[in-house]
Amino acid sequence: MMRSRSILLLAAALLAGASIVWARQTPTPNVPGMPTPARVTIINTETEPIPVVLRAAGGAQPVTVVGTAGVTMAPGTVVETRAARQAWEYRLVDLPSGQDAAAALDESGQDGWEAVGVVSAGGGGSRVLLKGPP
């Protein structure tokens, strides 16, 4: 009786151990919405040496700038600034079907206008919203 109980416990332990090994070897499926495994391989050759340092997040990372600055100022120079909200003007450009949109928007872009969206698009063409400084 005692021997059969020992064999049963040993078999249960072996089964549990085997299932743990099997579970660890099963790859995680790539299912939408689930995070991917955090495995990254970085390969740098001699022609592209990029030093990589991995550290725990949360600390400030030092940055060393090497080279000559394009703009220099004398020490102690006072630069006046003011905080102001940028005002914008908006206008609509009608683009009939078949018209070259790039050419029409390029013309407005030369005047400082920037396309920010399509307001409506119908069968007859599109209306593009532009913004620019006043």
Q: What percentage of the chain carries pLDDT values higher than 70?
A: 90
**Angstrom distances, CA of residue 8 to CA of 3, 17, 20, 21, 22:** 9, 14, 18, 20, 21
Measured distance CA(25)–CA(77) in Å, rounded: 64
Question: Does 50 or 83 have the greater pLDDT score?
Answer: 83
- The mean pLDDT of 82-93, rounded to a whole number, is 90
* Pair 61, 55: CB distance under 8 Å: yes
pLDDT digits (tens, 9 = 90+) for 47-65: 877 776 776 666 677 788 7
Residue 90 has pLDDT above 90, yes or no: yes
Mean pLDDT of the chain: 81
Q: What pLDDT score was predicted for residue 28?
A: 62
